[in-house]
Amino acid sequence: MPTARPGPGGLEDLLRDLAPQVLGALVRRYGNFDAAEDAVQLAMIAAGRQWPDEGVPDDPRGWLIRVASRRLIDLLRSDQARRRREDTTARWAAAEPAGGGPGTNDRPDGDDTLILLLMCCHPSVSTASQIGLTLRAVGGLTTSEIARAFLVPDDTMTRRISRAKQTIRSSGIPFRLPASDDLESRVSAVLRVLYLVFTEGYAATSGSEVHRRDLALEAIRLARLVHRSLPDDCEAAGLLALMLLTDARRPARTRPDGALVPMAEQDRSSWDREMIGEGIDLLTATLADGDIGPYQVQAAIAAVHDEAPSAPATDWGQIVALYDLLLETGDNPIVRLNHAVAVAMARGPSAGLVLMTPLVDDPRLANDHRVHAARAQLLELAGDHEAARAAYQVAIGRTANLMVRRHLVGRAAALEPDTP
């Protein structure tokens, strides 16, 4: 019996949540990533046409799997006919259970989606391709949407995704959860990909906007999915907490004209307190479990910022201590940069500048504007306006984001000496 007819938004959200589950079920059963993806798209189109009028089936996931499986069998039949291998396709078609169709004995919701995420982020696939394939296969974004989000041509993103699928196909990666000794590293790869997607969404490296809201929200959605599938993984919970605590500030990060607003100048009353509360609850639960990873530490830093009633009331001493802890997990130049800024805010700009000096020549930051922008800010606080202005100019030349550049130009211009 179909359920009530869904509204447009409800149907779109439902199909988006079900798509990776259906794709995972088909890839596990038939093993053909490309054909399975095409079949799922055809099933989604069929659902989009039928369900608004006929109502959502009692088991929408099972309905989609059955329809997608039949479409896949048709696609395989067509392909095999061209290759004169109809006998193989006939065996696939005959394997469909009578009556129920594929999906009758599928894993519970979410299991296949997690496996699909792990497959998309397999270590044999490059990071850039992992991101594209994850957003395409699990996020449900079109190739054009992904290309637009990362400001690359459509054909470039198409090649990345195609290479990723080819790599997976050639490597013969089985569609199942990895062995326990491999699972932790594979989950870490998934979390890293989602972290990179969120970071680009929250602080766009290029383009004409400070952030790309849809990309950040998609990363949060996928992080929720991973946390729901792995509720005992503290770093999965920590990453979700970090995203929520950070994205809660997004409403205050820009002015009506899109201009960047630094955190110290933001209207904190417009921060999303519901997201902050959820993030802190997640963080509190994970910290109580003992093992603390880098995403949890970063989430704790974000929580200190979010809980401060004003910028001057920020507990910079605690933030410095958390960055000290974070530095113990690895030598990350951006973490060192943020640590230097925190030290400057806690102990004075001179102390921060000492820590920042070696970062200016760090080859890992050769094309990054952030170290020069942060150094300019500390030089400005120290009263060396000429050196600050010069550092701002270097930062201006190294950012590809229009709004960030405008902000830096404004800061540099404010330091111009008065002319008689």
CA 269 to CA 40: how far, in whole Å? Answer: 44
CA 135 to CA 111: how far, in whole Å? Answer: 18
Q: What is the model's pLDDT at position 105?
A: 42
CA 303 to CA 287: how far, in whole Å? Answer: 13
By the 10 Å C-beta count (0-12 exposed, 13-18 middle, 19+ buried), 386 is classed as: exposed
* Assigned token pair, 146: 């992904």
CA 91 to CA 386: how far, in whole Å? Answer: 76
Collapsing DSSP states into helix, strand and coil, what is residue 260? strand
What are the structural domain ranges in the chain? 8-94, 332-420
CATH-assigned architecture of domain 332-420: Alpha Horseshoe (1.25)
Query: In this structure, are residues 29 and 97 in contact, taking their beta carbons and an 8 Å threshold?
Result: no
Q: Between the CA of residue 81 and those of 40, 69, 76, 90, 137, what are the distances in Å?
A: 21, 18, 8, 11, 27
Backbone angles phi, psi at 329, to 5 degrees: -90, -10
Share in percent of the chain as helix, strand, coil (round to 5): 70, 0, 30
Q: Which of the residues in the chain have pLDDT under 70?
A: 1-9, 78-111, 290, 418-420
CA 9 to CA 22: how far, in whole Å? Answer: 20
CA 135 to CA 143: how far, in whole Å? Answer: 9
In this structure, the chain runs to a length of 420
Q: What is the model's pLDDT at position 413?
A: 95
Collapsing DSSP states into helix, strand and coil, what is residue 254? strand
* Assigned token pair, 386: 């000429």
Q: What is the model's pLDDT at position 99?
A: 37
DSSP alpha helix (H) spans, 258-293: 273-287
Q: What is the model's pLDDT at position 3?
A: 53
Collapsing DSSP states into helix, strand and coil, what is residue 400? strand
- 263: DSSP letter: G
Q: What is the model's pLDDT at position 24?
A: 87
* Assigned token pair, 229: 């599938």
CA 402 to CA 396: how far, in whole Å? Answer: 10
Q: What is the model's pLDDT at position 1?
A: 47
* Assigned token pair, 269: 């009353």
Backbone angles phi, psi at 135, to 5 degrees: -70, -30
